[in-house]
Structure 1
Amino acid sequence: MEDELQITLTNDYAFKRLLGSEENKPLLQDFLECILDLTPQQVLDLEFMDKELTKEEFSDKTGILDVKLKLTDGTVIDIEIQASWNASFIKRTLFYWAKMYTADFKAGESYDKLHRCIAINIIADG
C-alpha cells in the first residue's frame, strides 16, 4: 500500500493558494462576508498587500503573514492558519496585529488616523 499525500487547508501552501491568490479572490470575498458579516460591496475591491511586516531598525523583529489584504474603507486584515496549537501563538498574533495597526502611523498624527485592523486566526484541531 502506497502512502498517500493528503493536503489540507492547514497546509500553508494550500491555504495561501485558496485564500491568498487573485484567481480565488471571489472565494476570499465570500469567506470575509461570512466571517465578518460584511456586505458584498464592502469586500468588492479588496487589495492583496505585501505580507512582510516592516521593521523600523535592522535589529527589530519582523513577521511574514499568510494572507494580508486591505478593504476599500482602509481596513487591513491578516488571515493566519496554524496547523497546531501552542501558547506562543497568542503573543505572535498580537505582535502581528500591533505591527499592522501602527504600520503607517507617523509622529505627530492624531490617533484617529489609525486604521482598523482585523486578525483572523484559523487553528487546526488536533
Structure 2
Amino acid sequence: MSTKLVNLRIDFAFKQLFGTKGSEDILTGFLNAVLEKSLEAPITSLQLEDPHLHKAYEDDKLSILDLLATLNNGTQVNIEIQLRNTHDMVKRSLYYWSKLYTSQMQEGMPYRALRKTITINLLDFILFSSDEEFQTTGQLWDTTKQRVLSDDIEIHFVEIPKLVK
C-alpha cells in the first residue's frame, strides 16, 4: 500500500493544515518548536487572525500574509512560506513585519502599548549559504553594548533544505 504525503511547501496545503479554525493545536505545537529559544513559557493558546493587512492609503501595496495568529500574551506571529528565492527575502520580511507592527497602532494609543511581533519565514531554498544551521533569528541589536535593544522585533528564517538534510 502506498501512502501519499501532502506537500506542506505548497501554500494552500500549509494554510489548510496550520491556518484553519480547529487546527490551533497543530499550529501551537509548531510555534512552540520554532520559537522554543525565544519564548519565556510555552504557548498555551492562540487565535487565528485575518491575514489581510489593510491599506492606510489608496496607493499603498496590498499585503496578504500567509498565516497570522495572536498568542495568549498578545504577541502577533506572521508565518510566511516562500518557495522561490526572489533575492529580496530579508527586505520582504522586514516589510511584512513593519506593516504588521504598525497595524496595531490606533488613534490616541500610546507607543508603549505596541506588542511584540514575530515573523517566521519558511524557505524552500538556501538563504544563508555560509551557515550550516537551518534556523536564523534576527532581532534589533545594540552593536556597542552587545545586547538586544528591543525584543518587539523578531524575525526567523527556517531554511527547509538544510532541515531536511
What TM-score results when the alignment is normalised by the length of structure 1? Answer: 0.84
Higher strand share: 2
Percent identity over the alignment is 36
Residue in structure 2 matched with residue 21 of structure 1 by the alignment: 20
What is the aligned length? 120
Residue in structure 1 matched with residue 65 of structure 2 by the alignment: 65
Contact persistence 2:70–2:76 (CA under 8 A): yes
What TM-score results when the alignment is normalised by the length of structure 2? Answer: 0.66
Q: Could you say which structure has the greater relative contact order, defined with CA pairs below 8 angstroms and 6 or more residues apart?
A: 1
How far has the Cα of 1:84 moved from its partner?
A: 1.6
Runs of 4+ in 1 over 2 A off after TM superposition: 106-111
How far has the Cα of 1:108 moved from its partner?
A: 5.1
Residue in structure 1 matched with residue 118 of structure 2 by the alignment: 118
Higher helix share: 1
What's the C-alpha RMSD, in Å, of the aligned pairs?
Answer: 2.0
Residue in structure 1 matched with residue 56 of structure 2 by the alignment: 56
Cα distance change, pair 114–124 in 1 and its aligned pair in 2 (3 A): same
Cα distance change, pair 87–74 in 1 and its aligned pair in 2 (3 A): same
Look up the equivalent residue of 1:100 and give its one-letter code.
Answer: L
How far has the Cα of 1:119 moved from its partner?
A: 0.1
**Structure 2: which 5+ runs fail to align?**
126-160
Residue in structure 2 matched with residue 105 of structure 1 by the alignment: 105
